[in-house]
Chain A
Amino acid sequence: MKNKDYHPNNYQQLLQKHRKVQPKVTSVTDAEHTISRKITSGLAPYTGDWDEDQQAHLLKRVLFGLTPEDLKAIKELSLEETVDHLLTKGTPPAPPINDYNDSSEGIEDPEVPLGETWIHAGHGGDYEGLRTISLKNWVIKNFTNQSTSLEEKMILFWHNLLPIQTWDVFYSKLSYGYFDMLRTNCFGNFKTLIRELTLDPAMLLFLNGTFNNKEAPDENYGRELQELFCLGKGPNVNFTEPDVQAAARVLTGWVVDWEHFYDPGELKVFFYPPFHETSDKEFSSFYGNRVITGKSGDDGAQELDELLDMLFDHEETALYICRRLYRFFVYHEIDDTTKSEVIVPLAELFRSGNYEIKPVLEKLLLSEHFHDSANQGAMIKSPTEFLLGLWRMFGMGLDSPTLSEQKDQYSSLLWQMANQGMELGDPPSVSGWPAYYQEPSFDKYWITTDTITNRALVGDSMIYWGYWINSDIQLPVDLIAFLKRLNNPEDPNLMLQECGLMLLGIKMEDTTLTNLKAILLSGQQTDGYWTTAWYELIENPGDQEYEMVVLNRLKPTIQHLLQLGEAQLM
C-alpha cells in the first residue's frame, strides 16, 4: 500500500500544472530482422586502427552527442589514455537553485530566495512542483555541460536502471540527494551503490521502504531490489515469491525521520527496531536455502548487509548488470557468442573485482568487441543523445541568460525530450524506459511516427526559425560559429565529412556526400565556390551579404543532414 500522506492536498492539480507533458510510453511494432552479420570478437584489447572513426564511435556511446571539442580532447590520446580520460570524474556541479521565483506571477518561494539553492530547505508544499522542475533542469544542464567524460552518461545509466520518479517522490531535495548519490557512486562500487540506494530517502519513499514494517510488510522494494536492481529476471533467475517476502521482512524497520520530515536540512534515515521483523528469514534453493537469522534491537540493521551479501554472492547479479551495461553502451541483442565472449567474462571480472564498476567499463570500452566495426551506428539515439547531442554539437545556449531564461531554456529541452518519450527524472515505470529493456524492440522504441516527426521538427527549428525557448525567445543555431569550430570549414568535402562524423551513426555514403554538396554548392560542380564564399565571409566580418550567401547554403545542407535516417543512429 502506498502512503504518500505528505503530498500536498492539491498534489494532483500541482502535477497537472507543472508536468507539461503527460508521461508517455512509446510503442512499436518490430520491423523484420534482416541482418546476416555476426560479431565473434570478445573482450581482448582492441589493437586495430585508432583513427577518428573509432574515436567518434567510442565518444558517441559514452557522451550525449559529439562535439568538435570532444574530438579534439582525445585526438592525440591512445585508446587506453582515452578510456582513462573518460572514466575521470570532474568537480561536482553546484546544486540546483531557485530559478522560478517570479513576483509578477505571484511566485515567491517563502523559504528560498531567487538564485539560492533549495536543497537544504524544508518541504516546499506547493513549491515542490517548481523545485522538481528546477531539479530536472539541473540534471539537463549537467548533461549539456558535460566534459569529455562518461560521468553524466553513467548517471543516466543508473537513473534508468535504479530509477525513482521525481513526480511521485515529490520532495525535490530528496530527489536531488538521489541524483547526487548516483554521481558519487557512478564509477564506484556497485554494492555500495545498492546499499546507499536502499537507504536513500527518495527511494524509501518511492518504493515504500519507509512504510515497510513488521505489522504491514510492503514488498515493493524487496521485489525490485531482486528483480530489477540486482538479479534481473533472466531465464536462470528463479527466486520465489517467498524470497520477495523474506527480503521485505529483512528490510523492515528502515524509515525516514518522519518527525523532522518537513524540516530544513538533511532528512535522516535510520533503523527503528520496533518496526523490524525479528523472525528468521528463509530463502529458497535459488539462494542456496540461505537463512538470515532474525535479530532484535539495533542488531536488526545488520540483516541488510547479510541480504546484500546474499544477492551479491549470486553470480546472476554480475551477469545481469553486465547485460544491462552491454545493452546501454554496445548493442541491444545478446546472442550466444556475445554471451560467452563478452557477458560471462565481464561478469567474472565484476565479481572477482568486488563489484567495482570502473574496471568493467574499462574492459568493455577497450575491447575488440566494443570497437568491432559491426557495432558502429547500431544503436538508435535516445532523446538525450539526439536532442542534447544536437544542442552540444551546435553549441546552442543563450548568452548570459537571466535565471528565468535559463530555466526556460532547460525546461524547453526537458519537455521536448518528454515529447519524444523521455522525461528525465521520471521514467515511465520502476523498470526504466522500455527502450533499454523491452524485448525484442529495445531502442526501436524511441522511433515512432510521432517522435520521428518531433525530432525532425526540432532539427528544422534549430536551423530555420529557432528552437523554442519561450514565447519571446526562439534560438536558432549560429551555424557560422558552429562551422568555425570545425577543422576545415572552407573545404566542402572535409567540412561535410566532419559534420557527418559527429552526427551520423555510420560513415557517410558517397551519394549522401554528393547530395549534400549539391545543396551546399547550389548545384555547382566547383568546390572552390564554397571556399571563396567562406573566405569572403571570414575576411569581411559583419558583412551581411557574405553571411547570407553562406547561410542560405548551409541551412538546407545541415537540414538535409539532420533528416537523414543515419542521424538517428549512433
Chain B
Amino acid sequence: MKRRSFIRHVGHSLAVPGMLGSMGFRMPNSKTLSDLLRMATATDKVLVMIYLEGGNDGLNTVVPLDQLSALNVVRPHVILPENSLLKTADASVGLHPSLKGLKSLYDENRFQVIQNVGYPQQNYSHFRSTDIWMSGSDSNELVNSGWSGRYLSDQFPGYPDAYPNDDFTDPLSVELGYGSSLLFQGPESAMSMVISDPEFFYELVDNEDREVPDSYAGDKLKYIRIIEQQSQQYGKVVQEAAEKVKQQATYPQTSLGQQLRIVSRLIAGGLRTPLYLVRLGGFDTHDAQVEASDHTTGEHADLLTDLDESIMAFMSDLEMQGTEDRVTGMTFSEFGRRIVSNASLGTDHGAAAPMFFFGNAVKGGVTGSNPSISSNSSYDDNLAMEFDFRQIYASILQQWLGADASSAESALFKDFEQVEIIGNRALSTSSLAGNGLFVYPNPLNGNSMIRMAPVNEVVTVDLIDMQGRKVASIFKGMITQEKEVKWSTSHLRKGRYLVVMQGANTSRVFSVVK
C-alpha cells in the first residue's frame, strides 16, 4: 500500500480520525461468532509498557549476587550493600531495596525478570537507542515505524479510514505522557491515540477544566479548546469509559502513578484498547545516582521507589476493578549502564539490562543467567546481551496478545526465538478457563449473548455486582455441548459486574461492564 494519501478526493470532508493521530480496529469480514470471538480474544488482553527513560542501571536494579565481589571492585561508587538487597529464594539475584512491592509480586510468581536484554552492536546515544527499541530494528538499520505500530497495522488493515466503527469504537493504543512516540507509528500513519497535550488527557478523563489566561487571547483559547475536545474522535469513548469507574485504589502522586491510574481506569471502564505506553523519566544517572553516605538512597532509589509504588498501586487497583487477569505490564529502557562506576556517584551509558514483566499471567521467576563481571573490568566494558529485545517482543506478541508467528515476524522483520513469559504458574487455578465463558458484546448494550463451553455437571450462571451481591440468575442446567444464551441487559444499571458460572467442580468468571 502506498503512503496514506491525505485527501484523496479534495472535495470530500476528511473522514479520518482527527487530532489524535489515528487508530482503528479491523472490521471482521463477517460478523460470525468466531470472528467476534477472535476479535474479543485479541483485544481482551492488555499490555502496559513502561518506558524507563534515560537508561536504567540494571546492575543496581537486579543485582547478581554471585558477582558481588567483582562488583565491589569495579563499581565502588554506587554498589549497594549486600544486606540491603531483597534476595530471591530461587535465583541468585537480589532486587534493589526500593523494590519491596515488586519483590512481593516476585514471591507470588507475578513478577518476572528477564536478564541481559539488548541488541548486537549497542548504540550509546539515547536518541538512537530509543529509536532502535521503539522501532524494533537492527542497530544499523533505519526504520521509521514502531514494532507496535506495525503489529497493529498488520492486525487492523482497514485503519484508519474505516475507524472507529460500530464494531470497534475504541482507540487501538493509547500513549500517555507526551508526544507520539515512534513505538506506535505504523508504516502509514500513527496507530495510537496520541493526545499530544498531556494536560488534555487528564482533562478528558478527569473532566477538569484547564486554566486559560485572563485575557482576550485566553477567551479565544478557551473556545478553541472546547471545540478541540468535542472533535476528539475517541474523546467520547475514553470519557465514557473513565466515567464508569467511580472508585480506584490510591496511587502515588507522581507522574507515573497518575499515568497508571488513568490506564487502569480506562481498562476497567471497558475500553478494549490492547496497548498502552507510559513513561518514567530521569534514569540518565551519570552522577548522583546514589547518595555517598547511603547507596540505597539517591536519584536511582527514588525512581525505583516511584516505579515500585506505582506498579503496586496499579496491581491493587486492577484487583479492585476485577481486571487483574487481563493485564500484563512490562518495563524497558533504551540501554543499561556501564559496569564501571563514576567517581561522581553515577554510571555512564551501557548496554544490556534486565526487563520486567508483571501481572497474574506471567510465568514469574528469573529468566536468563547472571552476567559475568570481571574485577578487571575496564571503563569501556559492557554487559553482554543474552536475549535480543525482539525475542521479548516476539514472545509477548504471541504468548499474550495472541499474534501468530507470521504477524510477529512481520512486525519484527525476522523470526525470533521466543522466551517463556506468559506461563501458568500463577494462573493454573484461574477461574477463567480460556473461553469457557464469554459474553458479547461487552460493554453490554441491552442484548448480549453468553457463550458457554460444555461442562460435566449442573451449573448456575449468575450476575454478581461489585459488592458481591447476586443481581440476577441467568442460567441453570447442564451444558453438554457448546451453548449460547441470550441475555437481556437493558434493565441493568451502569457499572461493572461479573458473570459467574458455578458448579461443584466448576468456577468460571467473566467480567462485564455496562
A positions within 8 Å CB-CB of B: 20-22, 31, 33-37, 331, 374-380, 411-412, 415-416, 419, 443-444, 447-450, 452-454, 456-457, 460-461, 464-468, 471, 474, 505-506, 511, 515, 518-519, 521-526, 529, 533, 544-545, 548-549, 552-553, 556-557, 559-560, 563-566, 568-569
Contact = CB atoms under 8 A, between A and B. Distances in A.
B139 to A, nearest CB: 10
Nearest to A457: B14
B188 interface: yes
Interface in B179-222: 179-182, 188-190, 196-199, 213-222
A425 to B, nearest CB: 16
B227 interface: yes
B125 interface: yes
B126 A416 contact: no
Nearest to A467: B6
Interface of B: 3-8, 10-11, 13-14, 16, 18-19, 21, 51, 53-54, 125-128, 130-131, 142, 144, 177-182, 188-190, 196-199, 213-228, 230-231, 279, 281-282, 284, 334
13 contacts: A21-B10, A21-B11, A377-B216, A378-B217, A452-B228, A453-B18, A453-B231, A461-B6, A525-B282, A545-B142, A553-B127, A559-B179, A563-B197
Nearest to A333: B216
Given A36-B214, A506-B213, A523-B281, A419 B223 contact: no
B178 A518 contact: yes
Contact of B281 (A448, A460, A466, A525): A525
B12 to A, nearest CB: 9
B180 A533 contact: no
A239 to B, nearest CB: 33
B11 A524 contact: no
Contacts of A448: 227
A564 B282 CA distance: 26
A522 B224 contact: no
Contacts of A380: 220, 224
Is the contact region of chain B dominated by helix, strand, or loop, or is it mixed? loop
Contacts of A525: 54, 281-282, 284
A378 B216 contact: yes
B179 A549 contact: no
B214 A35 contact: yes
Contact of A31 (B131, B144, B199, B223): B223
Contact of B13 (A35, A450, A519, A523): A450
A545 B196 contact: no
A549 B190 contact: no
A471 B5 contact: yes
Given A525-B281, A564-B197, A552 B182 contact: yes
A456 B190 contact: no
A526 B284 contact: yes
Contacts of B222: 31, 34
B11 A415 contact: yes
Given A412-B10, A449-B227, A569 B4 contact: no
A375 B216 contact: yes
Given A471-B5, A560-B197, A549 B128 contact: yes
Q: Specify which of A374, A449, A557, A565 lies most central, judged by the most chain B CB atoms within 10 Å of its CB.
A: A565
Nearest to A458: B6
Given A474-B6, A515-B178, A544-B142, A522 B231 contact: no
A35 B196 contact: no
B178 A533 contact: no
Contact of A548 (B5, B13, B144): B144
Contact of B196 (A22, A553, A559): A559
B382 to A, nearest CB: 20
B179 A556 contact: yes
A461 B127 CA distance: 24
A372 to B, nearest CB: 10
B223 A523 contact: no
Q: Which 9 A/B pairs are nearest by Cβ-Cβ distance?
A: A523-B53, A468-B6, A377-B217, A378-B216, A453-B18, A519-B179, A449-B231, A415-B10, A20-B11
A524 B223 contact: no
B309 to A, nearest CB: 20
A128 B54 CA distance: 61
A552 B219 CA distance: 34
Contact of A466 (B6, B224, B334): B6
Contact of B126 (A20, A524, A565): A524
A22 to B, nearest CB: 8
A419 B3 CA distance: 22
A474 B7 CA distance: 10
A470 B53 CA distance: 40
B126 A522 contact: yes
Contacts of B226: 31
A553 B181 CA distance: 9
A447 B127 contact: no
B218 A35 contact: yes
Contacts of A515: 178-179, 197-198
A526 B283 CA distance: 12
Contacts of A524: 53-54, 126, 281, 284
A522 B130 contact: yes
A411 B10 CA distance: 9
A284 B324 CA distance: 82
Contacts of B189: 464-465
B52 to A, nearest CB: 9
A124 B188 CA distance: 42
Nearest to A449: B231
Q: Tell which of B10, B18, B53 has the most Cβ of chain A within 10 Å.
A: B10
A25 to B, nearest CB: 14
B47 to A, nearest CB: 20
Contacts of A411: 10
A416 B53 CA distance: 39
A452 B228 CA distance: 7
A456 B195 CA distance: 12
A545 B141 CA distance: 8
Contact of A569 (B21, B198, B224): B224
Nearest to B17: A453
Nearest to A21: B11
A125 B493 CA distance: 66
A369 to B, nearest CB: 13
Contact of B128 (A20, A22, A545): A545
A524 B281 CA distance: 7
B137 to A, nearest CB: 10
A37 B215 contact: yes
Contact of B220 (A416, A444, A461, A526): A444
Contact of B18 (A331, A456, A564): A456
Contacts of A457: 6, 14, 16, 18
A501 B214 CA distance: 20
Contacts of B126: 521-522, 524, 529
